[in-house]
Amino acid sequence: MSVMSNAALALSTGRRYRAFTNRHLDELTTRAGLPADERLAVQAVAQVLPFRTNSYVVDELIDWDAAPADPIYRLVFPQADMLPADDVARIADLLRAGASPLELNAAANQIRARLNPHPAGQMQLNVPKLANDEPVPGLQHKYKETVLIFPKQGQTCHAYCTYCFRWAQFVGDADLKFASREIEPLVEYIRSHPEVTNVLFTGGDPMIMTEAVLAKYIEPLLDIEHLEAIRIGTKALAYWPQRFVTDPDADDVLRLFEKVVASGKSLAFMAHFSHPNEMVPEIVQEAVRRIRGTGAVIRTQAPLIRTINDAPDTWESMWRTHLRHGMVPYYMFVERDTGPQDYFAVPLAEAYDIFRNAYQNVSGLARTVRGPSMSATPGKVCVDGVAEIAGEKVFVLHFIQARDPALVGKPFFAKYDEKASWLFDLKPALGATHFPWEAPSSRT
């Protein structure tokens, strides 16, 4: 395995993980130059949506001279206007009045209920059942060949993104949390479904777990013959690369990755990078080298987020940097219809222009990336472009993945709408009365 320079290694060695949470917000937002009233508004938002960051992000990634406009600052710190003004004022008034945690949580829960905590039918449509008709906690099976696993020990992160579509996992409400309780039912389900060719460990962040816990989930899967690939969805490379370099069990984690590859299965490391600045520190580059050295393939993905990465040159730089370090650009996502979507979403027409203008400036090796893609209830829908057909301006779209496999790869059309930011904002075009996944009478 490769070795960092002595200076970089000295900087990271001995650095212990330190989390910053709500109780540190006033100190940190003061450092960002926010006045008292705005700091209170930020604290109000953080009563509703989760806040967590860490010493590496604070010390190495954020340019405090540029805060609060710095993109990494905006990536992890709540913004005063992320929620409706009336909601923020209501919580701020409770904070001023010294309301109890019970009162604050009750008010926050009322606001959360309006934020679509589990989009795309995650709770109602995606949870599979065993032969005895019992649901399998912590498992989602939306697409026939892919199962998502939510290990209970991995339902937090090294830091939280302000736009996270799984924010409901982190707010302390058991009714909103989605996680496995036992390993055996997960393995039993996958073993009994030969159509499942790959699993995705997700969360939260599976890489928050120790190697010993992660191995308990992964190792039982290695002798399931029909399983071809194991995927790990994680933000750890960006938020805590020490996980793969200097953490006490970093080498054990890499040996586990080697074991997966040696078993004959593909290990896909689904790395979440939101901005080129996350790749600057040498320790993250070393972490990438070490992971790739195990035989794992690192694929990179992120949503397009207003005020953080909504410029073509940002994505071009990010994809070129990832390619330079041996990673595979994979997805540009559209911000999901949950949480503060109205604040962070970029209209689909603008998203397509950003994608196209970045895509045309990278080599074919980086054109593995797909997008802008919406992970909606019927499936992953890609915006392929804007066209004029028979005198009508339309969006051209197709399913990359679908709940109904027959829809995959088939183009369909929607009326052009410069304000639309999600699939369900769109209407059928060219005389169609419904979209391909809808019943003919659904729009009458």
Residue 3 has a pLDDT of 44
Per-residue model confidence (pLDDT) at position 4: 47
Question: What average pLDDT does the chain have?
Answer: 89
Distance CA 31, CA 89 (A): 23
Query: What is the distance between the terminal CA atoms of the chain, rounded to a whole angstrom?
Result: 62
Long-range residue pairs from 127-133, CB within 8 A, at least 24 positions apart, any chain:
128/189, 130/185, 130/188, 130/189, 131/192
**Which two three-digit tokens encode residue 61?**
């990634």
Q: Tokens 């109890």 label which residue?
A: 100
Domains of the chain, start order: 14-114 (no CATH), 139-370 (3.20.20.70)
pLDDT at 418 over 70: yes
Question: What's at 307, amino acid-wise?
Answer: T
For residue range 337-383, what is the model confidence (pLDDT) as tens digits? 666 778 888 999 999 999 999 999 999 999 999 999 999 999 999 99
Q: How many CB atoms are closer than 10 A to CB 134?
A: 9
Residue 118, pLDDT score:
57
| Residue 211 C-beta-side C-alpha neighbours within 13 Å | 15
pLDDT at 274 over 70: yes
* Residue 163 pLDDT exceeds 90: no
Return d(Cα 213, Cα 204) in angstroms, integer. 15
Lowest mean pLDDT among 4-8, 41-45, 160-164, 254-258: 4-8
pLDDT at 272: 97
182 vs 309, more confident: 309
The DSSP code sequence of 221-233 is: GTT-TT--EEEEE
In this structure, are residues 166 and 205 in contact, taking their beta carbons and an 8 Å threshold? no
* pLDDT of amino acid 178: 46
Res 299 pLDDT > 80: yes
- pLDDT of 318 higher than 70: yes
Q: What is the pLDDT of residue 432?
A: 94
